[in-house]
Amino acid sequence: MPKILIVDDDPVIRNLLEQILEPFEEHGVELMTAENGVIALEAVRRERFDIIFLDVMMPKLNGFEVCKIVKNDNEMKDIYIIMLTAKGQEVDKQKAKDVGVDCYITKPFNISELIGTVEKVLDIRTTWGD
C-alpha cells in the first residue's frame, strides 16, 4: 500500500496535512508524520515511502539536507518529494531544484492543487474535487 510521510516541525501543519490527506486513507494510503529531518530520515531508511511532504526550516536537519540525502541514495531516490515551505523566493526555489525536489509548494497553499498533485503521483482519484 502507498505511504506518505509528512515532515514538519510545526504540529499544527502536520495535523492540517493529515486532515487534508485523509481522503487518501480510504484508498489504503498510509500516512505517517515526523517532526524533524533526523526522525524523517530514520523512517525513510526503515520503510518505503512513495511521497514525502518536506518543510524547509526545521531543527537538526533542514529540508534541503534531507532531500539531498534521499535523492543521492539509490534505494530512496525515487521517492516523490514535495517541498512545502514559507520560503517563496527564487533563490530558495533554485536551491530546491538543485537538491532534486520534485514539486515546490509555497505556504499558504491551495488544497485542491496539493490533492491533485498527490492524486497524480499515486494514480488515485479522491472525492475532494467533486
Partner 1 sequence: MKSMATDLREVFDRYEQAINDAVVELQNTLAYLTAVIDNMADGLLVTDTDGVITHVNPALSYMFALRETDLIGKNCRALFGNEFAELVRKSIDNSYEVYTSEIGLAHNRIGKAVATGIHQDTFETDDKGIGSVILIRDITSEKEVDRMKTDFISTVSHELRTPLTSIRGFTEIIKRKLEDDIFVKFPDDSDKKTGKAVKRIRENLDIIISEGERLTALINDVLDISKLEAGKVEWKMENIRPEDIIERAIGATSSLFEQKKLAFVRDIDNDLPYVIGDKDRFIQVVINLLSNAVKFTETGSVTCRVKKTGNEVTVSIIDTGIGISDADKEHVFEKFRQAGDTLTDKPMGTGLGLSICKQIIEYHGGRIWVESGLGKGSSFFFTLSINAKSGHTSAQVVDIITGGKA
Which residues contact partner 1 by CB under 8 A? 10, 12-13, 16, 19-20, 86-88, 90-91, 106-109, 111, 128
Nearer to partner 1, 65 or 109 (CB): 109
Min separation Cβ 64 and partner 1, Å: 16
DSSP line for 44-89: HHHS--SEEEE-SS-SSS-HHHHHHHHHT-TTTTTSEEEEEES--S
Nearer to partner 1, 25 or 111 (CB): 111
- Backbone phi and psi for residue 44, each to the nearest 5 degrees, phi listed first: -65, -30
Nearer to partner 1, 68 or 87 (CB): 87
Min separation Cβ 111 and partner 1, Å: 5
Element (H, E) at 46: helix 37-46
Nearer to partner 1, 16 or 69 (CB): 16
64 in Cβ contact with 56 (< 8 Å) = yes
Min separation Cβ 117 and partner 1, Å: 15
Min separation Cβ 56 and partner 1, Å: 10
Q: Distance from first CA to last CA of the chain, Å, rounded?
A: 24
Preceding omega of 11 cis (within 30 degrees of 0): no
